Chains A and B, each alone.
Chain A
Amino acid sequence: MSLNDIQRQLLREIADLETVPKGAYNIRANGESAGRSTTANIDIVTKTDKPGIDIIVKPGTKNESIHIPVIISQHGLKEMVYNDFIIGEDADVTIIAGCGIHNCGDQDSSHDGIHSFFVGKNARIRYVEKHYGDGDGIGGKIMNPTTVIELAEGAVMEMESTQIKGIDSTSRKTEAKLADGASLTVREKIMTHGEQLAETDFAIDMDGEDCACHLISRSVAKDKSRQIFRSNVKGNNRCTGHSECDAIIMDDALVSAIPEITASHVDASLIHEAAIGKIAGEQLMKLMTLGLTEKEAEEQIVNGFLK
């Protein structure tokens, strides 16, 4: 695998990778495959009808990981990728995705990805996704990830998505359908600055009996950035749904939270909590009485909030 320094830096940011990862991986650099490895239980196959890959995890595969980072260092590159994850029954795996864009040119670079998860009965997956952009060109760094999730009976999925720095525009969509006893937890962390825009949109259908979902979104909006959070959690059976979005607003930012919960079953129990506010003056004061400057106090509060 041959990557240049910029590409290596992106890989470090999004996947904490210094070298080739252990286990299965597929590294996509500037629209082309830059390395792939499969294992006895995990296969990665290039799609023939459209760009993207199928990741196939055999039933019963335990404690294996799959890295599928995407890095873009060529300015003006626009791509649309379809990745399907077929997770066999009773498997237990971790998937580390992520996308890093370095744009030092004057044309927009963008990565749009549709990740579809088909999680088999009683399988468990942890899906970690990190988005990062850098480069001092005026070209935009744009990412629009869509995640489509189908959880079979008793399947458990934990998803963590993080976008802390450098993405100018993002529209994130997450759709999920849950069967009997399935459980979905999503933790989202977003920080926007400058004139960035981040939109996030959840549509969760809790169709199965005793399924559960937790959506937890924490965000910080600085400078003139804008954030929009939308969620629609539907309880169509006996189930529990909980969503919360908690945002810190700073400077001249704009944050909007549009939560919706819909119950169509008498035993569906749904809760939404939403809060937007600036950093409390008391919090700054407390940390300043410990000897921190106001700026240091602000950083500690923001870092803690997004930890």
Chain B
Amino acid sequence: MLELKHVSYVVPAENDSTETKEILHDVSLTIDERFVAITGPNGGGKSTLARVIAGIAQPTSGEIWLDGQNITNLGITERARLGISFAFQQPVRFKGITVNDLINLAAGKKLSVAEACEYLSEVGLCARDYINREVNASLSGGELKRIEIATVLARGTKLSVFDEPEAGIDLWSFGNLINVFENMHERQGGSILIISHQERILNIADKIIVIADGNITAVGNKDEVLPELLRSSAACPTLLQKLS
């Protein structure tokens, strides 16, 4: 179980400025369910929250606990080794490192080509075409996104965090993406935390957390949260007019 206790994250408003901007304000939440979705308007603090969980950003105040252990002061590597995986919203490119290298590093052991290919097939990539390619600019955004998800699958940890996994995956039906998450849970258990705007992902969530302006504005299942979300002031007024 992951627990955030009164987590705040404050940055300078501008470079060298003494004024500050609060990206996350007193966020407390627990993640123990199979699927938890975090949603909310752009710039609301969702990605920052994911980065705070992975250890990429250090909270200004508050604590983070994983299965009864205070991990607030642990770095990225230590948290990864305790069982937190993180799929970046914008996957990183590497010159010279192949897809196979990356999946082996993620698995933490030498995999056979067949084993590595399985993870790629799962995310809808024809494995033979990709396994020896470099994770560089020759891959499209959508391909990188799927490889990023495959690295998290290969890790098989108890908590997997995905930052907008659907972004950039145009031709791949969301049904497949949802199957990936469901298979993943079946195989490894634990919790899957997904930052998403997609209703179909919110639909499979056991719990939805809404974050706006750095605050948690709603927590609940989809029946409790979704109607309110669509009516909230954050939704586009023109769109709402059309809907009514």
What residues of chain A have their CB less than 8 Å away from a CB belonging to chain B? 218, 246, 280, 282-283, 285-294, 300-301, 303-307
Contact = CB atoms under 8 A, between A and B. Distances in A.
Chain B CB within 10 Å — which of A246, A286, A289, A305 has the most? Answer: A289
Nearest to A280: B92
A289 B85 contact: yes
The secondary-structure label for the interface of chain B is mixed
A13 B86 CA distance: 39
B80 interface: yes
B225 to A, nearest CB: 29
Contacts of B101: 300, 304
A291 B95 contact: no
Q: Report the interface size class on chain B.
A: 20 to 34
26 contacts: A280-B92, A282-B92, A283-B92, A286-B92, A288-B77, A289-B54, A289-B56, A289-B80, A289-B84, A290-B80, A290-B105, A290-B106, A291-B80, A291-B81, A291-B108, A291-B155, A292-B77, A294-B77, A300-B97, A303-B96, A304-B94, A304-B95, A304-B96, A304-B97, A304-B101, A307-B96
B65 interface: no
Nearest to A294: B77
A285 B56 contact: yes
B41 interface: no
Interface in B60-94: 75-77, 80-81, 84-86, 88, 91-92, 94
B76 A288 contact: yes
B151 interface: yes
A287 B75 CA distance: 13
Interface of B: 54, 56, 75-77, 80-81, 84-86, 88, 91-92, 94-98, 101-102, 105-106, 108, 151, 155
B96 A305 contact: yes
A79 to B, nearest CB: 35
A246 B156 CA distance: 35
Given A282-B92, A285-B76, A300-B105, A290 B151 contact: yes
A288 B76 CA distance: 6
A283 B94 contact: yes
Contacts of A288: 75-77, 80
Nearest to B90: A282
A287 B94 CA distance: 10
Contact of A287 (B56, B81, B98, B105): B105
Contacts of B105: 287, 290, 292, 300
Nearest to A283: B92
Contacts of B97: 300-301, 304
Contacts of A285: 56, 76, 92
A289 B96 contact: no
A188 to B, nearest CB: 14
B77 A293 contact: yes
B81 A305 contact: no
Contacts of A301: 94, 97
Contacts of A303: 96
Contacts of A283: 92, 94
Contacts of B98: 304
A151 B91 CA distance: 43
Q: Which of B56, B108, B155 has the most CB of A within 10 A?
A: B56
Nearest to A282: B92
A306 B76 contact: no
A293 to B, nearest CB: 5
Contacts of A305: 95-96
Nearest to B161: A289
A295 to B, nearest CB: 10
A306 B81 contact: no
Nearest to B96: A304
Contacts of B84: 289
A286 B84 CA distance: 13
A289 B86 contact: yes
